[in-house]
Amino acid sequence: MYYPAFEVPFVGGPTLIAVIAITHVFIAHFAVGAGLFNAIVETHALRRDRPLLRQFLHDYSRVIVLLPFILGAVTGVGIWFSIALVAPRATSLLIHNFVWAWAIEWVCFLVEIAAGYVYYYSWDRLSPRRHAAVGWIYAVAAWMSLFVINGIITFMLTPGDWSDRRAAGDYSGAFWTGLFNPTFLPSLLLRSVSCLALAGIFVCVVVNVVPRYSREERTTIIHTASHFLVPLVLMVPAAMWYLGQVPASARGLAFGGAAAMSLFFIFGLTCSVLLAVYAYVALVRKRGYVSLETSLLLAAMAFIATGSMEYVREGIRKPYVVRGYLWSNEIANQPAELARLNAEGVLAHAPWIAPADRRARADRLTRGRWMFDVQCAKCHTIDGLNGVAPLIAGWPRDLIRYNLDHLDKLKGFMPPVVGTPQEKDDLADWLFRLNPVHHEPTASPLASGVEGQRR
C-alpha cells in the first residue's frame, strides 16, 4: 500500500521468494551440516589415524567453497532482495526489530566464510590439530548463524508476547522474547537434523564424483557419512513438538484445514523418515554402497522434503506475515491503523495505486479495481493463479458485498477487508462485474472506466 507493487507474472511474488528461499535453505543447511561433519570426522580421523577420511574431507571442503560460498551466499542475498521487493513493509518490520540479531548472524557468517577459506587453503600448511580446530570454528560459526536466523524465522509464526513487551516500552525484552519464541527450539532441532542429513547425502554424491577413490574406500566413506542421516528419525517427534507450539488455527491448516498443506507436510515427514530408515538399515548396518544415481536420488528427495517443510512453514502463517501483527497484504492488524483506514479510506493512503490527483475523478469501478490492487492482489490475480473471478463466478452482488464484511471468516487464510463502507461497495461492484454473464442489462454506464476494465 505504501510501496509500489512488484509484479511477478503468472506465479506471484510469494512463489518467487519461495524458489529463492528453498534453494538457499537447502544449500545453507548443507553448509552447516558439512561444517559439523568435517569437524567431527576430522577429529575422529586424527584420533584413529585414518588418512583416507582426511583425504576425503579435503575434497569435500572444495565443495563447500564452490557451493555454499557462491550459490549459498548469492541466494542468501537473493532472499533479502526478493522479500524487499515483494513485502517491503514486512522486511522493514523485521529489520527494525531484529537488526541486532541479523548483525550477530552476520558476524557468524563472516567467521564462517573466513574459517572456510582458511580451512580449504591450509590442508598442507597448518598442523593437523590446528586444521581441525579451524574446522570446529567453521562448524560452530555456521551452526550459530542458523541458531540466530532460526529465531527470526520462527518469530514470524509465533511472536510470543513480543508485541505486548514493545507496547510496554521494553524494547530489549521484546527482542529476546521474539527471538527465543515458543517454536524456536523445536525448529532448531528440525533444522539441525536436516543439516546433518544433507551433509551425509552430499558426501555420497561427492565421493562418487571424485575419481580418486576405489570402491572399497567409497564404501568406507559412505558408511561414515550414513550415521549423519540416522537422526532424521527425530523429524517426527520434533515436528510434533513444533506443531504443539503453534497456534491452533495454524495447526488446523497443517492437519486438514488446507489439503495441499497437509499433503506437503506428510510428504516431507515421510521422505525424512524413509531416508533415515534406509540409511540405518542399508548403510549403517549392512554397510551397503550408494551409487552416484542413488545418491542424486537421495539428494532430490531431501530437496523436495526441505521444500515441502518450508512451504508448510510459510503456508500455515497465512494470512499473516508476522502473526497477529502484519497481514500478507502489508496492512497491520492494529487498532489505530485500522481505525484510520476505515475512517479515511484505504485509497487515501495508497498513493502508488490511487494518486491524489486521479483519486478525485475516479469512478466507482476504478476505485473498486484499486481496492483489489491494494488488498487482494498480493494473493490473487484476476483470472490467473488463485484468480478471484472464477472463485466468485455465480455469486450475486449482495453475496459478494456480504462476504467482503466477513472475508476473514470465509477462508481462514484471508485478512478482513479494510476501508470505508463506500470503498467496500466499490470493490463489490468491480468484483461483480468480473464475470460478465451476471451483468444486469441496465448497468452499462458503469463499465466506462478504463482503469476499471480487466487488464
Partner 1 sequence: MSAWIILAQAGAELVPPRDEFGLPGPLWFLHMLVPLTFALHAVFMNFALGAAFIVPVFWGVGRRREPALLDAARRLVRAWPIAVSFTITSGVAALLFVQVLYGHMFYTANILIGWRWLAILGYLLIGFYLIYALDRLIVRDRFGAGMGVIVLIALAFLLVGHEFNNNSVLMLMPELWRGIHDGELRRHAPHAMWNPRMFHSIIGAVAVTGVWVAVLARGWRPYADDARRIAVRYGLRTALVATVLQVVSGLWFYVSLDPDVQRSMFAFSDPRAVLWMLAVLGGFGLLFLFWRGSEAPDDARWVVASAGVTAFVLVGMSAGREVVRLRMLARYPGALFTSADVRVQSGPMLAFVVALAIGLAVVALMLYWMRTAPAASSTLGPSRD
181 SS3 class? coil
Which window, 35-43, 123-131, 232-240, 258-266, contacts partner 1 (CB under 8 A)?
123-131
441 SS3 class? helix
What is the CB neighbour count within 10 angstroms for residue 258? 20
Which window, 3-11, 60-68, 245-253, 384-392, contacts ligand HEC (CB under 6 A)?
384-392
The pair phi, psi for residue 366, each rounded to 5°, is -65, -45
What is the CB neighbour count within 10 angstroms for residue 26? 23
Does 379 help bind ligand HEC (rule: CB under 6 A)? Answer: yes
Beta-carbon-side half-sphere exposure of residue 282 (alpha carbons within 13 Å): 13
Q: Which is nearer to partner 1, 109 or 143 (CB)?
A: 109
Which of positions 40-79 make contact with partner 1 (CB under 8 A)? 58, 62, 65-66, 69-71, 73-78
Q: Say which entry of ligand HEC, partner 1, none residue 391 contacts (CB below 5 to 8 A, set by partner kind).
A: ligand HEC
Smallest gap from Cβ 379 to ligand HEC, in A, equals 3
User: What would the x/- binding string for ligand HEC be over residues 403 to 432, using CB under 6 A?
Assistant: x---x--xx-xxx-x---------------
Q: Which is nearer to ligand HEC, 171 or 352 (CB)?
A: 352
Question: What radius of gyration do the chain's Cα atoms show?
Answer: 26
Which window, 129-137, 225-233, 394-402, 439-447, contacts partner 1 (CB under 8 A)?
129-137
- C-alpha separations of 361 from 355, 367, 421 in Å: 11, 10, 19
Q: Cell for 295?
A: 545418491
Does 371 help bind partner 1 (rule: CB under 8 A)? Answer: no
Q: Cell for 392?
A: 466468485
Nearest to 112 by CA among 47, 31, 218: 31
Q: Say which entry of partner 1, ligand HEC, none residue 280 contacts (CB below 5 to 8 A, set by partner kind).
A: none
Q: Say which entry of partner 1, ligand HEC, none residue 77 contacts (CB below 5 to 8 A, set by partner kind).
A: partner 1
Q: Which residues pair with 327 in a beta bridge?
A: 320
User: What would the x/- binding string for partner 1 be over residues 146 to 185, using CB under 8 A?
Assistant: --------------------x----xx-xxx---------
Using CA atoms, how far apart are residues 61 and 407, in angstroms rounded to an integer? 52
Q: Say which entry of partner 1, ligand HEC, none residue 92 contacts (CB below 5 to 8 A, set by partner kind).
A: partner 1
For residue 69, what are the contacts with CB-CB under 8 A and spacing of at least 6?
Answer: 113, 116, 117
Which of positions 91-110 make contact with partner 1 (CB under 8 A)? 91-93, 95-97, 99-104, 106-110
Instruction: Please report the sign of the dihedral spanned by the C-alpha atoms of residue 139, residue 144, residue 149, residue 154.
Output: positive
Q: Say which entry of ligand HEC, partner 1, none residue 5 contacts (CB below 5 to 8 A, set by partner kind).
A: partner 1
Q: Cell for 202?
A: 552430499
Chain residues binding ligand HEC by CB under 6 A are: 318-319, 328-329, 375-376, 378-380, 386, 388, 391-392, 403, 407, 410-411, 413-415, 417
